[in-house]
Structure 1
């Protein structure tokens, strides 16, 4: 998972509204969004390690993880970052307690940003410099650096999310189809950042530029799926759009009441 925008307790009657892109190597096998057998989890699944990048559970628990970009990092870690989402969704701990317990073993994982939540509380942490913190209501945008860092990539997504999509969500005459079309358009934005404004994460200018757009495309790596997730009243709705391969453009929906 590479980038997300979250409106937490901002929209009336929609405490959680989240859009995101998952970026990964095209050859890495994965299952699309589905209910996992014998599990409370609804998510896509990484078939290499068995975890996931974003998921929900019937009772309203949800979680999402992004990698923390560290160019030149060669350390092998014993556990997969995809287990973080899976472990939270299968837990019954409040989000802040889960995150604080994770702190004691956070160095067992490669660099990550993690947001975990339920219907009442959302918590962010990173094992590269951000202790667990309860998020007050607001809009949050996160990519592959710390949430407290300014990246032009996240600033661009924040602008489109807050100026185009969130106002649309509050207009009663706007249809769901129009809302989704706008969300997909934002998530498929291939605008790249001016070279002078790129972050410096140790991967070189050419790769920084390639990865600077909301939607990423290259020969071997890019945006694999886009997601729109909302909790409204007691209903959970999640749309996943496949963005790569022979099923590109296919949309799957999960509705939980």
Structure 2
């Protein structure tokens, strides 16, 4: 499971804010955030096992994020990699609405998933069990279920996101990274940051898109023991 928090058109200076934790097995090989050599317009981390990504942006400001879904068929594997969905959209020619329709028609080829796309001020969402939908504003979250499905982890994350938006720290990337690093447990529900020997939060990411047209993307990686690894930051013009 992963955690994605999104503030869409909630602040005049930052029309898009994304704060996300990637939770994964520590043994799964991963390439950190960067521009891909074989796809120079794509800025993302890379899953070296299946070749896709969980969160990425393209030059021009398009964004894609994909998560698995905790549900009735745990561990179900599809014919195609879920991470390929984000790559295909970010490097393709279809707009977000068109791509979502194509994904919905073939959703059975993938394991349980959520897909979120951002394009031209709109947030598009689709999943294994949810039809395509478009949002133009609001606070949104994904944890174990579909977009905006209430889960304690999502609700705690959104409460923290709201506090940042209402403070003087709204434009400070470190404020969102601090939120994502919260290890306070609400047993039996997990904390925002998952710590485990075999499985846990591998990296935290913050994306801020400004009203002036720039986009910053910072990724902080973590070791299996929860200590900080490398922090990478990039900025592009949308």
Q: TM-score, normalised by structure 2?
A: 0.92
**Equivalent position SS for 2:51:** coil
* Partners of 2:195 and 2:142 in 1: CA distance: 19
| Aligned pair partner of 2:219 in 240, 243, 255 | 240
Asked whether the 8 Å contact 1:15–1:119 carries over to 2, the reply is: no
Bigger Rg over Cα: 1
| Structure 2 partner of 1:24 | 24
Q: Any gaps of 5 or more consecutive residues in structure 2? A: none
* Partners of 2:112 and 2:130 in 1: CA distance: 11
Q: Any gaps of 5 or more consecutive residues in structure 1? A: 196-208
Cα distance 1:49–1:251, how it changes in 2: closer, same or farther (>3 A)?
same
**Equivalent position SS for 2:166:** helix
> Deviation per CA, 1:61-84, whole angstroms, max 9, x where unpaired?
101111101365354311111001
Instruction: Write out aligned runs for 1:1-257 (5 A).
Output: 2-39=2-39, 40-70=41-71, 73-127=74-128, 129-163=129-163, 165-168=164-167, 171=168, 179-195=172-188, 209=189, 212-232=190-210, 233-244=212-223, 248-257=228-237
More strand by share: 2
RMSD value, Cα:
1.9
More helix by share: 1
* Partners of 1:248 and 1:99 in 2: CA distance: 36
* Partners of 1:92 and 1:7 in 2: CA distance: 26
* Partners of 2:122 and 2:134 in 1: CA distance: 7
* Partners of 2:91 and 2:144 in 1: CA distance: 25
* Partners of 1:12 and 1:130 in 2: CA distance: 30
Q: TM-score, normalised by structure 1?
A: 0.85
Asked whether the 8 Å contact 1:23–1:224 carries over to 2, the reply is: yes
